[in-house]
Structure 1
């Protein structure tokens, strides 16, 4: 569980709630089903219209990363690469076959298998770079689904506000209904701006940050495997990869 994400969401919601209560507001006044349907339904429909089904469902599958992100330990990664370098120098690439089987990260596993299979250095590098580029692009496009939701939501909120005001104009002679319609209008705007800036955009940026961490870790794996294929000294490989510790 990512405690920072949970803490940040709680602080943001509590701050808004506390400020509203201190100003004399009632929390029940913020719950308007028609406004919620307009903003959430409209935003969801717009982003579904612009996305492919595969990209949309993949974006939904990445939501779990916000609170339970995959962990990539740079320090342990460097230690493993150095160990692979030592083993390959002493016993050849075939000695890494069991390491490939035990590896949980599919990208690292593929790289080790290519090394074990004796693939030429250039082909190994090209294959791993292509995998890395495609993986990064595919996941970033999924993160952009939430970024698009953050763009549409405020506009849909304004649309809800206009619809509420149109409805209010039909109730000018009935003050009770007029007040309810105006409340729905303003709450639709709150939903639109609030969901965008408290949920959609932070989720998009969080996923992008995780993708960046994954990419950096896998770039390190790529550099290490290429160095092993070059036959570089394990100590030299460790020194080269030490720069990645800055990105932990």
Structure 2
């Protein structure tokens, strides 16, 4: 569980709900059906139009990473790759064959299989880098869905405010409705700006950070597997991969 994400979401609710109460508006002032339809539904509509279905579906799939990120243990991976290199040094590359099916990481498993098959180091690098870059691109497209909605939401908030003010202007003859009408108009602005800056944009950026960490981890795996293929000393491999630790 990413405790910072949880705290951030709680603080976001406190900032908006608590701020409304502290200002004397109350919680009821934050609810407006028209503003919800224009901003929230409109933001998702814009996201649907911009994004291909597979990318939108992937965005929903990786959203839980914000709260529970995929496990990345670089120290454990370095230890595992070092043990592979020791086995390969003693028994040859075919000694790794029994470990291939046991490897839970599909990316590392593919690298092990290439090693066992006797693939040339440069070919291994090319194959794995293509897969790494392809996975990164696909994940980034998912993160960009939230970024895009974070861009659209404030604009739709302004549209909602303008439409609300238009309704107010139509009722100028009845001063009793002006205050409530203007307040309702600005609820749309709150929806747009708050959802963008407290949800959509932070989520998109958090996902990008996680994706970058996963790519860096895969790059480390590639370097380790290439070093094994080149017959490097296990100690040298371990020292080299420790450069990826922060």
Same fold per TM (> 0.5)? yes
Deviation at 1:145, TM superposition (A): 1.0
Match of 1:28 in 2: 28
CA distance in 2, matches of 1:98, 1:12: 50
Deviation at 1:19, TM superposition (A): 2.9
CA distance in 1, matches of 2:40, 2:5: 22
Aligned ranges for residues 108-187 of structure 1 at < 5 Å?
108-187=108-187
CA distance in 1, matches of 2:22, 2:193: 21
CA distance in 1, matches of 2:84, 2:126: 21
Deviation at 1:107, TM superposition (A): 0.8
Residue 101 of structure 2: SS of its match in structure 1? helix
Residue 102 of structure 1: SS of its match in structure 2? coil
Alpha-carbon displacement from aligned partner over 1:73-130 (angstroms, at most 9, x marks no partner): 0000100010000001111112222322122221111111111111121211100011
CA distance in 2, matches of 1:19, 1:184: 17
Match of 2:51 in 1: 51
Match of 2:196 in 1: 196
Match of 2:4 in 1: 4
**Aligned: 1:42 with 2:42:** yes
Number of residue pairs matched?
A: 246
Alpha-carbon displacement from aligned partner over 1:169-224 (angstroms, at most 9, x marks no partner): 11112234333332221000000000000000000011001101101110000000
**Aligned: 1:90 with 2:90:** yes
Residue 36 of structure 2: SS of its match in structure 1? helix
**Aligned: 1:240 with 2:240:** yes
Match of 2:14 in 1: 14
Deviates more, 1:190-199 or 1:54-63: 54-63
CA distance in 1, matches of 2:106, 2:177: 60
CA distance in 2, matches of 1:135, 1:43: 27
CA distance in 2, matches of 1:121, 1:223: 10
Match of 2:61 in 1: 61
* Kept in 1: contact 2:111–2:222 (CA 8 A): yes
Q: Name stretches of at least 5 consecutive residues in structure 2 with no aligned partner.
A: none
Residue 171 of structure 1: SS of its match in structure 2? coil
* Kept in 1: contact 2:29–2:184 (CA 8 A): no
